[in-house]
Amino acid sequence: MISRNHLVFFLILSFNLTLQTSMASSSSSERVTFHFSSLSLQNLTLLGDSYLRNGVVGLTRETGVPSSSSGTFIYNTPITFLDRTSNSTASFATRFTFSVNNANQLSSSGDGITFFLSPENQTLGSPGGYLGLVNSSQLTKNKFIAIEFDTRLDLHFNDPNDNHVGLDVNSLNSIKTADCSSIGVDLKSGHLITAWIDYWNDGKNLKVFLSESSKKPIYPILDIDIDLSQFLQEIMYLGFSASTEGSTETHLIHNWSFTSFGIRHSKPRISNPHNVTDNTVSNAKNPVIEVPVSANHDKHRKKIGLVIGVLGPVFFCSVLIVFGYISVKKWRESKTDMNIQAELLTGPKQFSYKELKAATNGFHSSRIIGHGAFGSVYKAVLGSGTVAAVKRSKHSHEGKTEFLAELSIIACLRHKNLVPLQGWCVEKGELLLVYEYMPYGSIDKVLYQESGHLGFLKWNHRYNIAIGLASVLSYLHQECEQQVIHRDIKASNVMLDANFNPRLGDFGLARIMDHDKSPVSTLTAGTMGYLAPEYLQYGKATDKTDVFSYGVVVLEVCCGRRPIEREQEGHKMVNLVDWVWELHSKGAICDAVDKRLNNEFELDDVRKLLLVGLSCANPDSEMRPSMRRVLQILNNESDEIMVPKMKPTLSFSHSLPLSIEDIIVSSEHDDEPVIRID
Tell me the catalytic residues: 488
Q: Is 595 flagged in the annotation as binding?
A: no
Interacting residues of 295 by C-beta distance below 8 A, sequence separation 6+? none
Radius of gyration (Cα) for the chain, nearest Å?
A: 30
Q: How far apart are CA 419 and CA 503, in angstroms?
A: 5
Q: How far apart are CA 550 and CA 566, in angstroms?
A: 22
Of 522, 532, 528, 468, nearest in space to 495 by CA: 468
Quote the strand ranges of 505-613, DSSP E. 511-513, 526-527, 564-566, 573-575
The residue type found at 79 is I
Q: How far apart are CA 96 and CA 32, in angstroms?
A: 16
Buried b (16+ CB within 10 A) or exposed e, 24-46: eeeebbeebeeebbbbbbeebeb
Helix (H, G, I), strand (E, B) or coil at 660: helix
DSSP single-letter state for residue 168: E
Q: How far apart are CA 639 and CA 631, in angstroms?
A: 11
Interacting residues of 443 by C-beta distance below 8 A, sequence separation 6+? 457, 465, 491, 492, 494, 495, 496, 502, 553, 556, 557
- 349-350 and 368-371 strand pairing: unpaired
Q: How far apart are CA 590 and CA 59, in angstroms?
A: 38
**Element (H or E) spanning 209, and its range?**
strand 205-211
Q: How far apart are CA 564 and CA 613, in angstroms?
A: 15
Helix (H, G, I), strand (E, B) or coil at 634: helix
Buried b (16+ CB within 10 A) or exposed e, 233-247: eeebbbbbbbbbbeb
With contact defined as beta carbons under 8 Å apart, do 550 and 627 qualify?
A: yes
Signed CA dihedral, 165, 167, 173, 175: sign only: negative
DSSP single-letter state for residue 182: G
| Helix, strand, coil in percent for the chain, rounding step 5 | 30, 25, 45
* Bind-site residues: 391
* Bind-site residues for ATP: 391
